[in-house]
Amino acid sequence: MNNKDIIVKRLPKDPGPAAWHQILPPAPEYPMLVDDKTVDWAIVGGGFAGLAAARRLAQLCPGESIALLEARRLAEGPGGRNSGFMIDLPHELTSDNYAGARDHDLQQIRLNRAAIDYAREIALELGMGREVFDPCGKMTASASAKGNVHIESYRQHLESLGEPYKIWNARELQQWTGTDFYQQGIFTPGAVMIQPAAFLRLTAQGISSRVQIFENSPVLRIEQGAEHTLHSRHGRLRAKRVILAVNGHIQSFGFFPRQVLHVFTYASMTRRLTAAEVATLGGVPDWGILPADPVGTTVRRVSDCMGSGDRIVIRNHVSLNQDLEARESNLQRAARLQDDSFARRFPMLKGVAMEHRWGGRLCLTMNSVPAFGEVEERIWSACAQNGLGTVKGTLSGMMAAEIATQQQSPLLSDFLAHNPPQKLVPEPFLSLGGNLTMRFKEWQAGADL
Ligand X SMILES: Cc1cc2nc3c(=O)[nH]c(=O)nc-3n(C[C@H](O)[C@H](O)[C@H](O)COP(=O)(O)OP(=O)(O)OC[C@H]3O[C@@H](n4cnc5c(N)ncnc54)[C@H](O)[C@@H]3O)c2cc1C
Q: How far is the CB of 87 from ligand X (least distance, A)?
A: 6
Candidate list 15, 16, 47, 90; residue touching ligand X; CB under 6 A: 47
Quote the least distance from Cβ 263 to ligand X, whole Å.
Answer: 9
How many Å apart are CA 257 and CA 361, to the nearest integer?
A: 17
Distances (CA, A) of 214 to 1, 21, 31, 343, 358: 24, 18, 5, 42, 25
Give the C-alpha separation, 56 to 364, whole Å.
24
Q: What are phi and psi of 110, to 5 degrees?
A: -60, -45
Q: Which is nearer to ligand X, 239 or 278 (CB)?
A: 239
Indicate whether 294 belongs to the interface with ligand X (CB under 6 A): no
Residue closer to ligand X (CB basis): 278 or 384: 384
Selected binder of ligand X within 16, 77, 294, 296 (CB under 6 A) = 77
Q: Which is nearer to ligand X, 278 or 320 (CB)?
A: 320
- Cβ proximity to ligand X: between 185 and 387 the closer is 387
For position 46 contacting ligand X by CB under 6 A, the verdict is: yes
Residue 172 sits at φ, ψ, to 5 deg, of: -65, -40
Residue selected from 97, 183, 247, 308 as contacting ligand X according to rule CB under 6 A: 247
- Residues numbered 265 to 284 that lie near ligand X (CB under 6 A) are 265, 267
Residues paired with 37 in a beta bridge:
237
Strand partners, 267: 315, 358
The correct pick among 22, 83, 108, 365 for binding ligand X (CB under 6 A) is 83
The residues near 9 (Cβ < 8 Å, ≥ 6 apart) are: 252, 254
The answer to whether residue 70 forms part of the interface with ligand X (CB under 6 A) is: yes
The residue among 45 and 206 lying less far from ligand X, judged by its C-beta, is 45
The secondary structure of residue 325, as a DSSP letter, is -
Compute the 3-state secondary structure of the chain and give helix, strand, coil in percent, each to the nearest 5: 35, 25, 40
Among 56, 81, 301, 345, binds ligand X (CB under 6 A): 81
Q: Is 395 in the site for ligand X (CB under 6 A)?
A: no
**CB contact set of 16 (below 8 Å; sequence gap of 6+):** 331, 356, 357, 358, 359
Between 77 and 294, CB nearer to ligand X: 77
Asked if residue 271 lies in contact with residue 166, where contact means CB atoms within 8 angstroms, the answer is no
d(CA 246, CA 46): 8
Rounded Cα–Cα distance for residues 91 and 108 (Å)? 9
* Residue of the chain from 228, 249, 301, 357 that contacts ligand X (CB under 6 A): 249
Determine, following the binding rule CB under 6 A, whether residue 263 of this chain makes contact with ligand X. no
- Assess 201 for contact with ligand X (CB under 6 A): no
Nearer to ligand X, 253 or 277 (CB): 253
> What is the CB-side half-sphere exposure of residue 122 using CA atoms within 13 A?
29
Stretch of residues binding ligand X (CB under 6 A), selected from 44-52, 128-136, 279-287, 330-338: 44-52
Options 43, 66, 71, 269; binder of ligand X; rule CB under 6 A: 71
Q: Which is nearer to ligand X, 308 or 390 (CB)?
A: 390
Strand partners, 68: 43, 213
Residues that bind ligand X (CB under 6 A): 8, 11-12, 44-50, 69-72, 77-79, 81-85, 218-219, 245-247, 249, 265, 267, 315, 360, 362, 385, 387-391, 393
